[in-house]
Structure 1
Amino acid sequence: MDNEWLQRWRQGRIGFHRDRPHPVLVRHWPDLGVRAGTKVLVPLCGKSLDMRWLAQHDHPVLGIELAGQAIEAFVAEGVGEVTRYRQADFDICRQGSVELWCGDFFHFHIQQAADIGAFYDRAALIALPPATRQRYAFHLAQLIPPGARGLLISLTRGPGDDCGPPFSVPAEEIHELFAPNFRLTHLEDGKPEANGFRESAWALERRGPLPLRGTGAVRSGSSRR
């Protein structure tokens, strides 16, 4: 899967990239109640302009992307000085309030996510084959603190037509993957597209006790699952 993803970027087969912020993000993010200044995790971020939209709405962004080409394209198309450094398995560059970590999402650990308070997934879950999606949902839950909220955009298409990526991930699988660790709210289903896909949008909130006010510590006797 990793090799296929990298090959898509090398060959410019990135039809999934949008040339403007996703309308579902614009429509639903304000209703999540994520406070200004909260850092947003964006897994498998590509060069998505959704990150710039989040940054423009007072959210520092931490995007994780395997393809270095995507990260270089993002900063080349942006404005402002780029700073670069390395941490553990990741080459990192920062432009404005957007950090881009180049590497494997599954190598991003909870210690590196200490200041993450929200997340946005428009193209991560649907880029993963079935065998990897369970691992993804569990790893995301490890990185997100109790009470944190996020927006998930998924895709479905007709039965028997599931060659991907992007893959079809129906509502039943969304519940199976995320309900153990998140409260889910179904926000909307989009209209069927010409390619047979239909988007669905979900609000997620990490289950678990909220941190004690002013300390950032979880209440005694509990921990992240």
Structure 2
Amino acid sequence: MSMENSWRQRWQEGRIGFHLEETHPALLKYWPTLGVPSGAKVLVPLCGKSLDMRWLADQGHPVLGIELAPEAIEQFLAQRSGGISRYTQAGFEVCRQGNIELWCGDFFHLHIQQAAEVEAFYDRASLIALPPATRERYAFHLAQLVPPGAKGLLVGLTHADGDAGPPFSVPDEEIERLMAPNFRIERLAQLPADARGRSESIWALERRGPRV
């Protein structure tokens, strides 16, 4: 089964244990410390139906969310009333509600031209949603899409379930190896493990220049 089909099947079957029914506490605590300008457009790769996008939008940030599963996008839009505009652009089916744009399609097909206005990014469940062979490609593509000086918040995850996922366990050393070539990177916090032995790490990133 392809990655796309596998991901859509998870949404269709409701196997989305990675989804939070609240804004992530780390976003509330650490996003303000990054110094992202008010009004800066935020890229949210593999966004699912994350409520974090609502919070970012409520802070005045236009949000560009990229998601493979149309089921996730429709569920997100249904969470709040408000006009929805729909159109197609660059091979993506786009839905816009307020200052949130949701692009349905493959993140790796998003090009610099479509992300031209992006000034910041947020990764809560993107890197850890990808198998090892795809994570390096993701880190490189993210670096291509965001301009020098762009700041972002990344939430990592480690667990003792071996190679099981998603979400996958991505150790600190791998995050540093993947991101440090193109980003200044700082670990802000290591959160206590939950009842399942899963521990999140919080990272601040800033894109080095120039684009790769």
Q: TM-score range by the shorter chain?
A: over 0.9
Where in structure 2 are the equivalents of 1:31-180 lying within 5 Å? 31-158=33-160, 161-180=162-181
TM-superposed deviation, 1:32: 0.2
Letter in 1 for 2:187: H
Residue by residue over 1:176-225, the C-alpha shift from the partner in whole angstroms, topping out at 9 and shown as x without a partner, is 000000000100001111112100000000001xxxxxxxxxxxxxx421
Distance in 1 (CA, whole Å) between partners of 2:163 and 2:90 is: 36
Matched with 1:215 is none
Letter in 2 for 1:162: D
Distance in 2 (CA, whole Å) between partners of 1:174 and 1:10 is: 30
Distance in 2 (CA, whole Å) between partners of 1:79 and 1:162 is: 40
Distance in 1 (CA, whole Å) between partners of 2:69 and 2:5 is: 10
Matched with 1:183 is 184
TM-score, length of structure 1 as denominator length: 0.92
Distance in 1 (CA, whole Å) between partners of 2:159 and 2:21 is: 23
Residue by residue over 1:66-123, the C-alpha shift from the partner in whole angstroms, topping out at 9 and shown as x without a partner, is 0000000111111210000000210000000100000000000001110000000000
Structure 1 residue ranges, 4+ long, deviating more than 3 angstroms after superposition: none
Distance in 1 (CA, whole Å) between partners of 2:139 and 2:49 is: 22
Matched with 1:224 is 211
Name stretches of at least 5 consecutive residues in structure 2 with no aligned partner: none
Matched with 1:24 is 26
Distance in 2 (CA, whole Å) between partners of 1:3 and 1:91 is: 17
Distance in 1 (CA, whole Å) between partners of 2:163 and 2:190 is: 19
Letter in 1 for 2:178: L
Residues 1:196 and 2:183 are matched in the alignment: no
Could you say what secondary structure the match of 1:131 adopts?
helix
Letter in 1 for 2:106: D
Residue by residue over 1:21-47, the C-alpha shift from the partner in whole angstroms, topping out at 9 and shown as x without a partner, is 000000000000000000000000000
Q: 2:14 aligns with which of 12, 15, 24?
A: 12
Distance in 2 (CA, whole Å) between partners of 1:36 and 1:191 is: 31
What RMSD over aligned residues (CA atoms) do the two structures have, in Å?
0.8
Residues 1:3 and 2:5 are matched in the alignment: yes
Could you say what secondary structure the match of 1:74 adopts?
helix
Distance in 1 (CA, whole Å) between partners of 2:196 and 2:11 is: 21
Higher radius of gyration, 1 or 2: 1
